Amino acid sequence: MIRFRRSLAWIAAVLAPLALGAMAAQAQGSYPDRPVKIIVPIGPGGSYDLVGRYLADVLSKRMGQTFVVENKPGAGTVVGTQAAAQSEPDGYTLLVGGLSNMAFNSALYSKLGYDPLKDFVPVALVYKFGYVMVGRKDLPQASLKDIIAAAKAKPGSITVATAGVGTGQHLVAAAFMKAAGVKFLEVPYKGSPPAFTDLLAGRIDLFFDSIAAGLPYVRSGQARGIAVLSSKRSPLAPDVPTMSEAGVPGLDVDSWLGIFVPAKTPPEAIARLRKEIRASLPDLKERFEKSGGEVWDLPDDKLNGFVASEYETWTKLIREAGIKLD
């Protein structure tokens, strides 16, 4: 009798871990089993929101669970990103991350409240878009080389609009001035629309903005396309040269966006998300291209290194330029 009881105990001891393993595998295989939140750290509209909503749509269909976008703007992209960093690392809170919240903010703010490299894991980078340098249509300089020559001859004589301190448009302009060795007179605006208003009216000489925002004015003849800040010409304006072709080699600037999760999120959830996001990219190709960008599928083993490299590059540039937001 005692021997029989010991046998039962031994069997229970053996089977218990197996049962727990089967339950864990079942739980992992069922992810997600409730709605998933995607935090977009800006208000509705714009590239962050676009990526979040497009991914929410395709992932809901592919994974049979609701993916809900939550716009959480504030202090640029800081408020929403900090909320994501402090969320439960269970795979049910995702974040749309890009240059602003993963590369710019650490240098722009002395007390940020999150660490882009330590507090997050990149799941997938899926979207990128380039910038274009546009000029007023009656700009007297005929080429980029002429603009650079004029700026060097008389620093501050050429004006450049920025869409607010610390924005992508501002920092791309700073990157250009550093690469070209020139100094423009910076004129800050509250966003791109008022900057374009003054550019089209001839009150501002230059502006750097996304290809999607800038090229329509170039195609309509309201502004001049000086150069695109990418390694190849844009199919939306094949006549506009790259920076390298126009005289500033090596200035290739792409803005990028993707999905991040809080550190310590279960690897199984990350793996499932990566698999489904990658499988959804063909469905997003046309949508992304219509928005002026392109689908991007960076391999998993390159993600951490790429984000760290972008962080280091932009942190150095911002600090050298002395740009701060607090």
Instruction: Tell me what pLDDT residue 84 has.
Output: 98
Give pTM, 2 decimals.
0.83
- Residues 141 and 99 both lie in one domain: no
- What is the spatial distance between Cα 196 and Cα 184, in angstroms, rounded to a whole number? 17
pLDDT at 254 over 70: yes
Instruction: Tell me what pLDDT residue 92 has.
Output: 98
- Tokens at residue 131, please? 């910038």
- What is the spatial distance between Cα 189 and Cα 212, in angstroms, rounded to a whole number? 19
Q: Answer yes or no: is 6 within a domain.
A: no
- Residues 113 and 260 both lie in one domain: yes
Q: Answer yes or no: is 9 within a domain.
A: no
Strands 294-295 and 120-136: antiparallel
At residue 264's C-alpha, the angle toward residues 260 and 269, to 5°, is 65
| 97-108 per-position pLDDT tens digit | 999 999 999 999
- Residues 119 and 138 both lie in one domain: no
- Residues 187 and 277 both lie in one domain: no
pLDDT at 27 over 60: no
Residues 6+ apart with CB under 8 A from 262: 84, 85, 86, 87, 88, 89, 93, 95, 119, 120, 121
Q: What is the CATH number of the domain that holds 119?
A: 3.40.190.150
- Residues 122 and 161 both lie in one domain: no
Instruction: Tell me what pLDDT residue 222 has.
Output: 96
At residue 125's C-alpha, the angle toward residues 211 and 93, to 5°, is 120
- Across 100-121, average pLDDT: 94
DSSP letter (8 states) at residue 242: B
- CA-wise closest residue to 199 among 155, 138, 277, 250: 138
pLDDT at 286 over 60: yes
Looking at the DSSP assignment, which residues form a beta bridge with residue 161?
187, 207
- Residues 223 and 264 both lie in one domain: no
pLDDT at 13 over 80: no
Neighbours of 294 (CB within 10 A): 17
Give the residue numbers spanning the domain of 281: 29-128+255-321
Q: Answer yes or no: is 112 within a domain.
A: yes
- Residues 263 and 242 both lie in one domain: no
Mean pLDDT, the chain, whole residue set: 89
What percent of the residues of the chain are helix, what percent strand, and what percent coil, each to the nearest 5? 50, 20, 35
- Residues 88 and 53 both lie in one domain: yes
15-24, 33-42, 267-276: which range is least confident on average? 15-24
Residues 6+ apart with CB under 8 A from 238: none
Q: What is the CA radius of gyration of the chain?
A: 24
* Domain's final residue, options 190, 216, 246: 246
Instruction: Tell me what pLDDT residue 29 has.
Output: 60
Instruction: Tell me what pLDDT residue 3 has.
Output: 39
Looking at the DSSP assignment, which residues form a beta bridge with residue 206?
135, 160
Count of domains for the chain: 2
- Residues 279 and 211 both lie in one domain: no
